[in-house]
Amino acid sequence: MLFGLVRTLLQGWVYELYVKPQFFFSFYGFENLPRVGETLVYIIYAMAILTAILISIGLFYRFATIGFFMCFTYLELYDATNYLNHYYLICLFAFLLIFLPANRSYSLDVKLGFTKASGAVSAWMIYIIMAQIGIVYTYAGLAKLHPEWIAEAMPLTIWLNERAHWPILGTLFSWDYSPILFSFLGAFYDLFIFWFLLFKKTRPWAYAAVVVFHLLTWSMFNIGLFPLIMITSNIIFFSTAWHKKVLGKLGDMPKADPLARRIPRGFVIYMCIQLILPLRFLFYNSQLLWAEEGYRFGWRVMLVEKSGLAHFTIKTSDHTAFEVDNSKFLTPFQEKQMAIQPDFIVQYAHYLGEHYSRQLQRNDLRIFVDAHVALNGRVSQHFINPKQDLLLVEDGYKTKEWIIAHPDL
């Protein structure tokens, strides 16, 4: 993660994502998260880099893990348009590391005498990381059993056609049956790779598949650090003997002790939350890929290709009306994300209401949106009821009745 943080800083993305925007979108329940000025943003980001370095070398480990979790999670909550599954996974891993003694071997804390070296770790500490990885893969696989992925091979058909000009692989991508084949292979991989990694006989072949799969997806798609995260984290499935063989020259290797301690109740609750949270979409009577209600935090990876436009009109009680220039308030990236996600559309409408109420000194404004979205190569469709005054609706956990159902889903 240290590499990713440094790269983001050097590319100027910290400014683009956390400083430049005038308005920041919120996750439900975090609307009151304080947004700080430019100086503090860079200080928090520097703290994230520093604590990542400290974790890597095992120095002041407990302070570093708490600090990294707080800094990184805060940055991820800063603007919901920046949400990515692997950033969410990093937040979860960072949270778990706070409670795991990962500094008891190969660390400066041990070298400097800040903590005692340990010859064993509780088996549950290893199993909980394995289980978290298993949840990511399994739910990603279950999500791919959707007819859109399995039967229609969408959006994979779009992506493979865009890469048909590639040397060597382009010929394979342009084959008529490639999208269906890749769709089935992707679903099979996500559904079963965790189980193949668990068993000694299949583990080497499974890990080879992990490396090939994630390197291939990294080369084909712009998915950031996710391939690197999964390739490195899956090493935990190998036995203590394997780790000793690889790392033994650096010093004594701690082993798992299944009798050391029972799983703390707090981690049982944590795992239950992780198992239940991705299933909350079942409580909504809506089209998941279209309305995206219960979509986030569910490990639905690369299931949709969306594009959209949203034109906002503000009307007053004396029948005057004017359209909003979104570029005055949002960055191009924010506008792109806002136009295809209904909760963002509502948040932005309320922001516009507050802004123009102050500017015009009026409290009789009504805001409407003409939003069209194209899903997985289909012709764009009306997304939001154009007759709905968005100032009269609130974001929340209830089904959004003002979303117009897609006619082809």
pLDDT at 142: 96
Q: How far apart are CA 333 and CA 340, in angstroms?
A: 12
Residue 275 pLDDT: 96
User: How far apart are alpha carbons 274 and 367 in whole angstroms?
Assistant: 37
Instruction: Tokens for 101, please give them.
Output: 């003694």
β-sheet bridge partners, residue 381: 373
With tokens 């692997």, the residue in question is 86
- Report which of 332, 349, 333, 324 is spatially closest to residue 400, judged by C-alpha positions: 349
Q: Which residues of the chain have pLDDT under 50?
A: 259
Q: Residues 6 or more apart from 53 whose CB is under 8 A from it? A: 2
Give the model's pLDDT for residue 310: 97
Instruction: Kindly provide the residue ranges of all beta strands, DSSP E only, lying in 2-153, ordered along the sequence.
Output: 120-122
- What's residue 77's pLDDT? 97
Which amino acid is residue 198, in one-letter code? L
Q: What is the pTM of this model?
A: 0.92
